[in-house]
């Protein structure tokens, strides 16, 4: 019942039942305590579990190997080094065996705590005693490899080799460690050495190395291993092809990507929506409408539905080349999806509508972004530009005020848009305040900034000669020139 309560998350009832057990039904035994220790650890109550461990000893019950291992593993995963070492001393005094699972967990604890010397001494203790299996060697390699300690991982690998316990698992975790450590040549050399010692590479070996190389912008090398993987009959889906194709497109090598895609089809490997998404996004970034649409059509022929990522790529493409109808249709598809439109796709549509002065459509999307509290500096800046362009200055001023209040003035373009608006509406005070904010934020003014400020000064009656002197001064001596502009605007 205690175990049942604990597994159902009713820890309080389990503890109460334990207390009643002592009062009415007899003395709890080691097994009972072990259940409570385990349940409390599962519920992340390690200190309470330790109290039950101490209480068990107080009741003159000997904690068994399960008691120690359960608590020791909890300490190791939480990097409670002092407590873990205390338990190890007790286990050594009682000559209790530390299992492999706990041993590798302790190695990882030391590694993750930055205690490399202790981790190595701990590992060597079991290695020299010959008490480590192949699985345990791989866990120790991984403990070092995941943290980027490649040399330490290599040392464990060599130890495993000395004991003649190397299997494909050790090779796989060592290849992974080389990938994390960016030792790409070593990863390839290790993979190539497997065959020499009679270890057959499995699907994980190939997939790991291909992913490592593709992520390191080495798709040409990755492609050679992908070919070997295909020849070994280990390619069951398009995932490894997708990784390499993505790497080629990232480098702008579209011909190589498409060549590999055709090769994949030749092996009767079916593409999925992700691989189509890679091509669509790549060609969208390049502004290649025909090629992107070609993959959209292929995807539809294959009976695969689009997803928000693909729709966002298409909107990016359509807005870039000005395809209004196609962009609107795609945006509607995103609106119907569970995720809804992203900020990026919404901003793309606002940008497209702004260019075409389609005020109501742009306003509708902008208001939706504001309602959901996701509108950003770009969203506001586009609306400001549109209102300014069509002469609706009151609404443009309102947007500018909101941008300043929300802290949405962070780059030169936004500042210039606002200053240009204030110049157009002859708002000296607001322009002066904005210019001061700009200088204080560290954004450097450019020629457009000074043209907007010059127009304001001219509209306020300052002579062309005086403005000209200010323009010359800021070019010759920027610090003193900025002070002169500030003084003139005040």
pLDDT at 229: 97
pLDDT at 144: 97
pLDDT at 465: 92
DSSP 219-247: HHHHHHHHHHHHHTT---SSHHHHHHHHH
pLDDT digit string (tens) for 460-474?
Answer: 888 999 989 998 998
**Is residue 27 within 8 Å of 56, Cβ to Cβ?**
no
Mean per-residue pLDDT for 81-98? 93
**Is residue 171 within 8 Å of 187, Cβ to Cβ?**
no
pLDDT at 437: 93
pLDDT at 1: 57
Q: What are phi and psi of 395, to 5 degrees?
A: -70, -35
pLDDT digit string (tens) for 353-377?
Answer: 999 999 999 999 999 999 999 999 9
Mean per-residue pLDDT for 280-300? 91
Sign of CA dihedral 23, 29, 35, 38: positive
pLDDT at 246 over 80: yes
Superfamily designation of domain 1-98 = Tetratricopeptide repeat domain (1.25.40.10)
Average pLDDT, the chain: 91
pLDDT at 249 over 90: yes
DSSP 180-222: HTT-HHHHHHHHHHTGGGTPPP-HHHHHHHHHHHHHTT-HHHH
pLDDT at 24 over 90: no
pLDDT at 8: 58
pLDDT at 25: 57
Q: The whole model's pTM is what?
A: 0.77
pLDDT at 391: 92
**Is residue 104 within 8 Å of 131, Cβ to Cβ?**
no
pLDDT digit string (tens) for 367-422?
Answer: 999 999 999 999 999 999 999 999 999 999 999 999 999 999 999 999 999 999 99
pLDDT at 455: 92
Mean per-residue pLDDT for 89-113? 92
Q: Where are the domains of the chain?
A: 1-98, 409-490
Residues 6 or more apart from 340 whose CB is under 8 A from it? 334
Mean per-residue pLDDT for 435-453? 92
Mean per-residue pLDDT for 145-170? 95
| CA-based R_g, the chain, Å | 33
pLDDT digit string (tens) for 37-85?
Answer: 888 888 888 998 899 899 888 888 889 999 999 999 999 999 999 999 9
DSSP state of 199: P
């Amino acid at each position: 019942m205690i175990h049942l309560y604990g597994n159902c998350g009713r820890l309080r009832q389990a503890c109460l039942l334990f207390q009643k057990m002592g009062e009415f039904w007899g003395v709890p035994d080691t097994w009972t305590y072990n259940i409570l220790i385990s349940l409390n650890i599962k519920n992340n109550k390690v200190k309470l579990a330790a109290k039950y461990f101490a209480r068990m000893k107080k009741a003159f019950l000997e904690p068994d190997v399960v008691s120690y291992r359960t608590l020791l593993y909890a300490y190791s995963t939480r990097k409670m080094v002092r407590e873990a070492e205390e338990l190890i001393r007790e286990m050594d005094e009682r000559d209790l065996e530390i299992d492999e699972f706990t041993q590798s967990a302790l190695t990882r604890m030391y590694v993750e705590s930055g205690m490399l010397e202790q981790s190595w001494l701990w590992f060597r203790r079991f290695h020299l005693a010959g008490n480590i299996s192949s699985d345990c060697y791989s866990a120790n390699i991984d403990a070092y490899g995941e943290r980027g300690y490649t040399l330490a991982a290599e040392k464990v690998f060599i130890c495993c080799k000395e004991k003649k316990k190397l299997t494909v698992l050790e090779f796989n975790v060592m290849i992974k460690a080389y990938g994390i450590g960016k030792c790409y040549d070593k990863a390839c050399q290790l993979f190539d050495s497997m065959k020499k010692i009679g270890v057959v590479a499995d699907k994980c070996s190939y997939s790991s190395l291909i992913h490592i190389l593709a992520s390191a912008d080495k798709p040409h090398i990755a492609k050679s291993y992908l070919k070997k993987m295909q020849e070994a009959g280990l390619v069951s889906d398009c995932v490894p092809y997708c990784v390499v194709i993505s790497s080629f497109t990232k480098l702008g090598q579209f011909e190589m990507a498409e060549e590999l895609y055709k090769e994949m089809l030749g092996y009767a490997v079916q593409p999925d929506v992700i691989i189509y998404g890679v091509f669509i996004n790549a060609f969208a970034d390049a502004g290649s409408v025909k090629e992107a649409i070609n993959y959209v059509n292929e995807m539809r022929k294959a009976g695969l539905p689009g997803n928000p990522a693909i729709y966002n790529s298409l909107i990016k493409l359509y807005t870039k080349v000005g395809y209004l109808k196609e962009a609107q249709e795609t945006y509607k598809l995103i609106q119907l999806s569970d995720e809804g439109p992203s900020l990026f796709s919404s901003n793309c549509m606002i940008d497209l509508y702004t260019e075409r002065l389609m005020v109501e459509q742009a306003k509708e999307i902008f208001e939706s972004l504001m309602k959901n509290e996701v509108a950003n500096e770009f969203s506001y800046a586009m609306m400001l530009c549109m209102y300014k362009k069509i002469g609706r200055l009151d609404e443009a001023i309102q947007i500018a005020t909101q941008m300043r209040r929300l802290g949405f003035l962070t780059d030169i373009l936004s500042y210039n848009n606002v200053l240009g608006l204030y110049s157009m509406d002859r708002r000296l005070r607001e322009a002066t305040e904005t210019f001061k904010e700009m200088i204080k934020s560290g954004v450097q003014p450019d020629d457009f900034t000074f043209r907007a400020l010059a127009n304001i000064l001219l509209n306020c009656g300052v002579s062309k000669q005086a403005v000209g002197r200010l323009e010359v001064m800021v070019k010759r001596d920027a610090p003193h020139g900025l002070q002169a502009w500030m003084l003139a605007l005040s």
